[in-house]
Structure formats: structure tokens, C-alpha cells
Amino acid sequence: MTEFTLNQLEIFVTVAERKSFTQAAGELYLAQSTVSAHIRRLEAVLGVRLFSRDTRKSVCLTPEGQRLYPAAKRVLANCREFRLLADNHRAGLPLTLGASTVPGQYLLPELLSAFLRRHPDCRYSLRRGDSAQIRELLRSGEIHIGFMGTCPEAEELCCVPVAMDRLVMVTENAPRFREMKRRGVWGRELLGEPTVAREEGSGTDRTVAAYLHQIGFPASRLQIVARIDNPETIKSMVARGAGVSVLSALAASEETQSGKLLAFEMDEVGLRRKIYMAYPKEGIDSELEQQFIRFVRTSAAKSGISD
């Protein structure tokens, strides 16, 4: 059997994706010379040249490297899944979930609590990140079920809507904004205010970007004073007068009901989006994970959310 190591495959894939031995070394916490040595040994074992280098010190895959790269990715994903299954069996964690900020903080707690009441012996592991990060965790096999504010465009994933959310403009509860609220001002009329925005790559940020394009408002006109990945921090800053923010109505419901913040619908129609659950079209072997998927889809159907 050809003698190469998983470590060499991981280094090969990382160099291919970063197009740089230096960046790959930094990501893997290895010396650049170590990365280069592993690639040379892998090339020697395989009898092919994997990378070509240009004068700018960047690297790219050779035709042979391009042919082998997808197989190396699959091997690493299968190995991660193998380890995950072993860890789950040992630790009793059959549900491997991931969620972006809004579903992770404001949707999953209710779903998981309801599911745990039906399956009291169930245990789960939850990874957090923005929508783009959750998509990558699904693709790599590090999680099996993900929840996010955008539907990932990936042929290997099944993506179904499981909840509806509204995005609203939230402001501090100050006289100026109370007067605007009384006059029926729309949230889009406050887009010129100093803004505390969600981080780039989040489902909220993508939805806002699409909305700005739809109404013809250049994103460059936004006065973004900060980008923050935590809605709780954003709400605290808005309440203290740092600026306005477009947030999930789910995330802002407690503060708007208590009067700590004011909420403005973006326009006459309202800015709505779906929250999605995604999972591999193939590879869900755990019966409990299948039951959880069915449970979430049934809950969504009862709430009037259809595929």
C-alpha cells in the first residue's frame, strides 16, 4: 500500500487552499520548512509533482495536484467523521449541530429543549459561527446538521426553511426616535444614521446587503461605526446611543417589548427572511440525527413554514 500520512494530506490540502506555503504553515502551526518537507515526501511517494510556483512566491496546483485534491479532501472528511462517530459513541453525543448567531441564540434553545423532553437520553454538541463558517463545517463533515440565516449553495447539502424572521431597524429609546416612531417613519429612512452592523458573512449582513441593492441604496453610504458578531453587544451599544442597527426581530424582541429599544419596520412590506436547516443529502447515519431532522421539519410545518 502507498505509504503516506494523514498529516501529509492535511498539509497538501491546506497549501492548495491557501495557495501559499507560508500561510499554510501559519494555519497549521508548523515551520515553513516542515511544510515544504512534507510536500516533498508526499510527491516522492506518489511519484507526481503537486504544486508549481510562480515568481510572486505563490503556488498553484499542477494538473496532477488538481486531480488528487478532491480525493484528499474526501479522505480527510471521512477521517474526521470516523473520529467524530467514535467520540460521540464514547461521550454520548450523537447530535453534532452547528448554528449561526440568530438561530443559535434565539431558535435552537426552544427546539432542543422540546426534543430533549421527548428524548431525555439525548446529548448534543453545538458549534457556533457565522453562516459561512457553518456552511464550511457542514462541507468538511465536522458537523452533520446546521442552522443559518441563508441557504447554502451546495449541491451536496439539503437545505430546508424551518422558521421565519423579520429584520427591523432598532434605535435607542430617545425623544428624537420616539417622535419618528409617532410619525410612522420607516426603518429605511434611518439608513443614513451612524450604524452598528453585524459582521460580514453573517446571514443578517447578507440579507441587508441584498435589501440595499433592491432599494438602490449604495452600501458605501452606510455610516458603519462598528461591526460586531454578537447581537447582545449590538443591542447594548444601540441602547447607549452608539448608532442604529438592522437586527433580527427575534434577537431584539425582549428589548423592544420592554421599551429599552425602539423597532422600526424597514418599509411597508417588511424585511423578512427564512432561517434554514442544512444537512448532507447523504451520510446521516445516526437514527437520532434523523429523528431530530424529522422533528424540526414537523415543527416548522406546524408553524406554517413550508419547503
Domain of residue 56 covers 6-86
Question: Among residues 86, 106, 135, which one ends one of the domains?
Answer: 86
- pLDDT (tens digit, 9 = 90+) per residue, 267-299? 999 999 889 999 988 767 678 888 899 999 988
At 120, is the pLDDT very low, low, confident or very high (cuts 50, 70, 90)? Answer: confident
Q: What is the CATH number of the domain that holds 138?
A: 3.40.190.10
**Pair (14, 36) in one structural domain:** yes
Q: Could you tell me if 247 and 214 lie in one domain?
A: yes
- 207 with 141, same domain: the answer is no
pLDDT tens digits along 87-118:
555 445 578 899 988 888 888 988 999 999 98
Whether 154 and 293 map to the same domain: the answer is yes
Task: Output the pTM of the full model.
Answer: 0.60
The grid coordinates listed for 159 are: 437545505
* 199 vs 184: CA distance, rounded Å: 29
Pair (13, 69) in one structural domain:
yes
Q: Is 287 found in the same domain as 219?
A: no
pLDDT attached to residue 22: 86
- For 7-26, the pLDDT digits (tens) are 899 999 999 988 888 888 88
Instruction: Report yes or no on 248 lying in a domain.
Output: yes
Tell me if 242 is assigned to some domain: yes
440568530: which residue's cell? Answer: 102
H/E segment holding residue 14: helix 6-18
* Domain termination residue (choose one: 37, 64, 86): 86
Strand extents, DSSP E, 129-242: 145-148, 157-172, 194-198, 223-228
Specify the number of domains making up the chain.
3
Amino acid at 233: T
User: Residue 264 above 90 pLDDT?
Assistant: yes
Residue 171 has what pLDDT? 97
Per DSSP, 163 falls in state: E
Question: Is the domain of 155 the same as that of 283?
Answer: yes
pLDDT tens readout for residues 54-82 = 655 678 899 998 999 999 988 888 887 77
Give the C-alpha separation, 8 to 10, whole Å. 5
Whether 241 and 230 map to the same domain: the answer is yes
